[in-house]
Amino acid sequence: MSGYSADTRIRWTEWLPWVAAGLFFFLMPEYLSLGARILIFILFALSLDLILGYAGIVTLGHSAFFGLGAYTAGILSARLGVNDAFLQLAAAAGMSALLGMLTGAVILRTRALTLLMLTLAITAILLEIANKWSTMTGGADGLSGVQVSPLLGLFKFDLFGRTAFLYCLIVLFAAWWVVRRIIYSPYGAMLTGIRDNAARMHAIGAPVYWRLVMIYTVSATMAGVAGALLTQVNQFVGLNVLGLEPSGDILVMLILGGVGRLYGAFVGPVVYIVVQDTLAKQYPEYWYFGIGVLLIFVVLFARGGILGIFDKLRDKWLSHSRPKSSARASAR
Amino acid sequence: MAFALQTEKLCKSFGALTVADHIDFRLEPGARHALIGPNGAGKTTFVNMLTGVLAPTSGSIFLNDQEVTNTSQAARVRLGLGRTFQITTLFRSLPVLDNVALAVAERTGVAKRMWRSASSCKDIVEESQNLLGVLGLADDAASAAQDLPYGKQRLLEIAVTLGLKPKVLLLDEPAAGVPSHDSGKVLQQLEKLSSDIAVLIIEHDMDLVFRFAQRITVLVQGQVLVEGTPSEIAGDKRVRDVYLGEAHV
């Protein structure tokens, strides 16, 4: 969908997530905290899609940036008394960008399984630091006492999560806009080229390694912002933002929604968190079972994720209603 | 006189196996030069050293009199060295147009841009469409590269490389796998290439080689056996012995 022959105008379907979020805000006020959580994981998944879906970097360590962002915001408030929301976001973004650039510069020289293990190692190291450095991070007890001043001095984080929801929605909207610009840009087209055939990309003179480090840094920054949002909304940071588990969760969310489709990052977390929330009420210990079944189903029968099912149905409908050549042209 | 491409005593060994043995090779500007040799002669290894995929064990490589022995693949491309692959190496899932546009965008420096949309880069799109037109692929611009018939994929491979405006073009078996009635089409396109470009072609199709090349170098077991005009090569007894006997020339 990206590239030099893409139509970059915003289609009406692309407004649907925002309309849905607006409706959610007015119709389900008792679920706004859950809603904010979903928005945060959409942002996290979006950052992952940028490197996995477009650049083809497979990672099990994306929680390193999410967690660093979460702890940066938390430590700023609980230990240093900086309670301004935007300062916390900016600091989290900066720290994650730095980590993304430094680790990316080391690990993106490798590929495939080696790369996968190195990403996992980095988040595992961060998890251990957060666990052991308890004077700063609160260790296994987590970091409590996080405070966020009213936004712009006006909007307090209320008990029902109204401010939190809208705040997360605005940050997500900004991130979506940035990601959309990038994937439709020459840079985005170049990334799909690397994903499709890195050898060819080298042969047309692209400095593949530097390009990957760059997009990895951008993605890390966004993941860090998502982590900071989680801290601000929960007013707490736990060790569960680091390590294999959150990395795997976000990967599963993205695969459920559909990888490399931009909106797969929107659908996946909604399905995952709603299923998780519903099942956990019934079977508090076995909710992962439901997610597992869902994942198996998607991987076996819907390789493009949930959004891929819609694409297939649309293509089928088009090929029935039009001659083949024009159906192919419109499928682009 | 500056050579478009030159190697001096170029060697490559994998352990005890020597696949390039003191190769001295010169490609003149605008040349139509062919490199032939039996299977395992080290042709592809030679090309991989020229393009920077493999580092030579010893010896040096010059591109327009500039030493490039240790420069990266990308840097050599920027200095004007373009190559096609023996095994089709395209962006298979991307549209044909994008295959060429990615190359053009790299050459012009547009590829680094994150903030404008790719499809609004009219000059890139136009240049890519023109190139596709030159190679007779204009009607296929919108198809995915993997949906093209194989002969057209080989032409696209050339179009992608031409998008880099190379001064030296290395064609690694451009007609490999193309049905014989289509290899004429590939040759037709090759003959249309600008005379500013020095072309080195590695090819098994002797028909194509003898019609296209002005000079031929024969590589056997990593060594240059002989170099000369097509008629000299066809008349050379050693070449007949090692190679051409089996190719019915």
Q: With the CA atoms of B133, B87, A208 and A265 taken in that order, what torsion angle do they form, in degrees rounded to the nearest 10?
A: 80
Determine contact, residues A229/A169, Cβ cutoff 8 Å.
no
Mean pLDDT of B96-115: 94
- Measured between CB atoms, does A10 come within 8 Å of chain B? no
Per-residue pLDDT at A326 exceeds 60: no
Number of H helices, E strands in chain B: 9, 10
Considering only CB atoms, B118 lies closest to which of A189, A202, A211, namely A189
The verdict on a CB contact (< 8 Å) between A192 and B94 is: yes
Q: Which residues contact B9 (CB under 8 A, 6 or more apart)?
A: B22, B23, B24, B58, B59, B60
CA distance B205 to B86: 13
List chain B residues with CB under 8 Å of A181: 114-115, 117
Residue-wise pLDDT for B173-219, tens only, equals 888 877 777 778 788 888 888 889 999 999 888 888 998 999 999 99
pLDDT at residue number A328: 44
- Measured between CB atoms, does A209 come within 8 Å of chain B? no
List chain A residues with CB under 8 Å of B117: 6, 8, 181, 184-185
pLDDT at residue number B191: 87
- Measured between CB atoms, does A193 come within 8 Å of chain B? yes
CA distance A293 to A139: 34
Q: With 0-12 CB in 10 A as exposed, 13-18 as middle and 19+ as buried, what is A63?
A: buried
Beta bridge partners of B219: B224
List chain A residues with CB under 8 Å of B124: 4, 186
pLDDT at residue number A322: 58
Q: pTM for the whole thing?
A: 0.89
The verdict on a CB contact (< 8 Å) between A204 and B141 is: no
The verdict on a CB contact (< 8 Å) between A6 and B115 is: no
Among A196, A207, A108, CA closest to B76: A207
Residue-wise pLDDT for A20-59, tens only, equals 999 999 999 999 999 999 999 999 999 999 999 999 999 9
Residue-wise pLDDT for A147-193, tens only, equals 998 888 888 888 778 999 999 999 999 999 999 999 999 999 999 99
Among B223, B155, B161, B219, CA closest to B189: B155
Per-residue pLDDT band at B244 (split at 50, 70, 90): low
Instruction: List the single range of A65-74, A270-279, A314-323, B209-218 with lowest mean pLDDT.
Output: A314-323
Q: Does ipTM exceed 0.90?
A: no
- Number of residue pairs across A and B with CB atoms under 8 Å? 134
The verdict on a CB contact (< 8 Å) between A196 and B95 is: no
Per-residue pLDDT at B249 exceeds 80: no
Per-residue pLDDT at B113 exceeds 70: yes
Per-residue pLDDT band at B104 (split at 50, 70, 90): very high
Sign of CA dihedral B74, B75, B76, B82: positive
The verdict on a CB contact (< 8 Å) between A186 and B112 is: yes
- Measured between CB atoms, does A72 come within 8 Å of chain B? no
Instruction: List the single range of A5-9, A218-222, A242-246 with lowest mean pLDDT.
Output: A5-9
Number of H helices, E strands in chain A: 15, 0
The verdict on a CB contact (< 8 Å) between B95 and A188 is: no
Domains of chain A: 13-301 (1.10.3470)
Per-residue pLDDT band at A323 (split at 50, 70, 90): low
Q: Distance from CA of residue A259 to its chain's centroid?
A: 11
The verdict on a CB contact (< 8 Å) between B111 and A206 is: yes
Mean per-residue pLDDT over chain A, rounded: 92
Per-residue pLDDT at A327 exceeds 50: no
For residue B200, which phi and psi values (nearest 5 degrees)? Answer: -115, 120
Per-residue pLDDT at B20 exceeds 50: yes
- Measured between CB atoms, does A332 come within 8 Å of chain B? yes
List chain B residues with CB under 8 Å of A201: 102
Per-residue pLDDT at B3 exceeds 80: yes
Considering only CB atoms, B113 lies closest to which of A5, A186, A332, namely A186
CA distance B110 to A188: 12
Mean per-residue pLDDT over chain B, rounded: 89
In a mutagenesis test of the B interface, which of A50, A182, A184, A204 is the best target, namely the one with the most B β-carbons within 10 Å? A204
- Measured between CB atoms, does A188 come within 8 Å of chain B? yes
pLDDT at residue number A331: 40
Q: With the CA atoms of B83, B87, B91 and B93 taken in that order, what torsion angle do they form, in degrees rounded to the nearest 10?
A: 170
